[in-house]
């Protein structure tokens, strides 16, 4: 990934994040690790007051649509601050969950992850160093990115229908299911938060 990528903290923009796991390892295959991601997103909602628009958790990456403004604030919270807080949370509690699984089973769910746990890759990071941050400033683009998130598990042949994947915002929008993670966006554009 290029090192000269820039983030643009523009008032009123939604951000579409793509965050990949270190070496595309399937850290988020396990539901306990997916729950750590959910908890990290809830932390952004609680502590930073951002508007969570959509997400999907895939085995080796995640996508997040986020409006990085605290309710009523004219200026956004810097994306670098949000990304740092989120990735740090998931790294800390994700490793804790991995250690717990290792103690119980003496292995993880794939040979590459077992090699990672033994230190064969040198670093014990969960995330790739850089992610992808895309500014969204049109409703059409936002809906395309949201649909992309919801279709990702089908494209990857993890499920046949989007409602079968509980680890995305699809069930919230289409079934009013708040059981995994409630979204903040009410469908209005521009977002009034």
Query: Is 102 part of a structural domain of the chain?
Result: yes
pTM over 0.85: yes
Query: Is 163 part of a structural domain of the chain?
Result: no
Query: Strands 14-20 and 51-57: what pairing?
Result: unpaired
* Strand positions, DSSP E, the chain: 14-20, 51-57, 61-67, 132-136
For residue 188, report the phi and psi dihedrals to the nearest 5 degrees: -80, 145
pLDDT in tens, 73-116: 999 999 999 999 999 999 999 999 999 999 999 999 999 999 99
pLDDT: is 6 or 56 the higher one? Answer: 56
- CA dist., res. 109 & res. 101, Å (int): 10
pLDDT in tens, 120-166: 988 788 999 888 999 999 999 999 999 999 999 999 999 999 999 99
State the helix-helix crossing angle for 79-105 and 31-48, rounded to 10 degrees.
Answer: 150
Listed range (18-27, 40-49, 125-134) with the worst mean pLDDT: 125-134
CB 52 within 8 A of CB 183: yes
Query: Is 153 part of a structural domain of the chain?
Result: no
Query: Is 69 part of a structural domain of the chain?
Result: yes
Query: Is 134 part of a structural domain of the chain?
Result: yes
Query: Is 56 part of a structural domain of the chain?
Result: yes
Q: Helices (H), strands (E): how many in the chain?
A: 5, 4
Question: Which stretches of 49-110 are DSSP H helices?
Answer: 79-105
CB 151 within 8 A of CB 50: no
Residue tagged 């605290």 (tokens): 70
Tell me how many domains the chain contains.
Answer: 1
Query: Is 48 part of a structural domain of the chain?
Result: yes
CB 20 within 8 A of CB 133: no
With a cut of 60, say whether residue 1 has pLDDT above it. Answer: no
For residue 137, report the phi and psi dihedrals to the nearest 5 degrees: -130, 10
Residue 55 belongs to a domain with what CATH number? 3.30.70.1290
Range 182-190 average pLDDT? 97
Q: What confidence score (pLDDT) does residue 104 get?
A: 95
Q: Bridge partners of 21?
A: 127
Domain that holds residue 85: 14-143
| Average pLDDT of every residue of the chain | 95
With a cut of 60, say whether residue 171 has pLDDT above it. Answer: yes
Q: Give the model's confidence band at 4: pLDDT under 50 very low, under 70 low, under 90 confident, else very high.
A: low
- In this structure, the chain runs to a length of 193
> What is the percentage of the chain residues whose pLDDT exceeds 70?
97
- CA dist., res. 1 & res. 61, Å (int): 15
Query: Is 28 part of a structural domain of the chain?
Result: yes
């Amino acid at each position: 990934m290029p090192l000269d990528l820039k983030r643009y903290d523009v008032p009123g923009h939604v951000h579409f994040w793509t965050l990949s796991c270190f070496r595309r390892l399937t850290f988020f295959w396990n539901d306990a690790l997916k729950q750590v991601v959910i908890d990290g997103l809830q932390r952004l909602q609680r502590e930073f007051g951002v508007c969570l628009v959509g997400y999907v958790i895939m085995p080796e990456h995640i996508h997040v649509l986020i409006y990085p403004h605290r309710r009523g604030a004219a200026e956004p919270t810097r994306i670098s601050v949000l990304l740092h807080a989120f990735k740090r949370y998931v790294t800390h509690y994700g490793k804790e969950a991995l250690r717990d699984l290792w103690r119980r089973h003496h292995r993880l769910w794939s040979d590459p992850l077992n090699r990672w746990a033994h230190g064969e890759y040198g670093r014990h990071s969960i995330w790739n160093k850089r992610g992808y941050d895309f500014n969204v400033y049109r409703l059409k683009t936002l809906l395309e990115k949201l649909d992309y998130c919801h279709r990702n598990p089908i494209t990857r042949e993890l499920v046949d229908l989007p409602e079968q994947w509980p680890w995305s915002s699809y069930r919230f929008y289409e079934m009013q299911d708040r059981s995994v993670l409630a979204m903040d966006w009410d469908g209005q554009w521009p977002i009034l938060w």
